[in-house]
Amino acid sequence: MNGLGPFLGKELREIRKTWRLWVLPGVLLFLGLTTPLLAALTPKILKMTAQRTPGVVIHFPTPTASDSYLQFMGNLAQLALLVIIVTGAAAVAGERRAGTDVLMLTKPLSRAGFIVAKSISAVLLVVVATVLGTALCVVVTVVIFDPAHIARFVESVALWLVLAAMFGTLMILLSAATERQASAAGAGIAVYVSLFVLTGFPALRSVTPAGLLSANDALLKGKDAALAWPLATTAALAVLFVVAAAFIFRRKEL
């Protein structure tokens, strides 16, 4: 994989100087700040709305730190994964459309190095953005509620990170395999929807990445969850996607 180190450095510098610095990190920081606030204010807002309707009495449970963390995890599983899919669709397809991949590959950079560098930079961006968003969520939640359940929350986020890394490498594969960014995004969303469907089938959920999606609520509520197979399958798929992307990209005409 000639040229991997220099090209990876170029990718990381590019993140700091382009829109990618603001999209996923911006979304996760926004969620980290607003999710605890919404968890605290939503019951009050609904109560005020109900009071305007004569004869309607609604009892709302007092919000807790768990409500904040559950809402944040729900946002990660839905909005954040969609952001990863849509932005990741341009990882290789965007370079090919702009013609910059030819410029890079005329230097001592192998096609495998190109794909691996793209994959590493995508995963690093997800990890750093998630750590920042999670830290902000914990701080705001502790200020509003109490310092309960932080360890469970961090464990749930760590599980989600494995799933997010898999989606990041999946998008590298789809972006390398397709000619258009929209096609890669559409295929990624199809996989995303299919994974949610699999959560409804216990036999499949227990051995696929769908198990990580369904485990977050269980962990935050202190319940046991079988994670060995979902974790192993998700990690294996992430590696397989990178290998497949390198294989496909090696045979693409530039």
Cβ proximity of 115 and 245 under 8 Å: yes
Cβ proximity of 103 and 238 under 8 Å: no
Nearest to 169 by CA among 121, 211, 206: 121
Question: From the DSSP assignment, how many helices (H) and strands (E) are in the chain?
Answer: 12, 0
pTM: 0.90
In the chain, how many domains are there? 1
Range of the domain at 74: 4-250
- Summarised one tens digit per residue, pLDDT across range 116-164 is 989 999 999 999 999 999 999 999 999 999 898 899 999 999 999 999 9
Cβ proximity of 80 and 103 under 8 Å: no
- Measured distance CA(136)–CA(84) in Å, rounded: 20
* pLDDT attached to residue 62: 83
- Summarised one tens digit per residue, pLDDT across range 6-63 is 777 877 887 877 777 789 999 999 999 999 999 988 877 766 765 666 655 666 778 8
Report the SS3 class of residue 137. helix
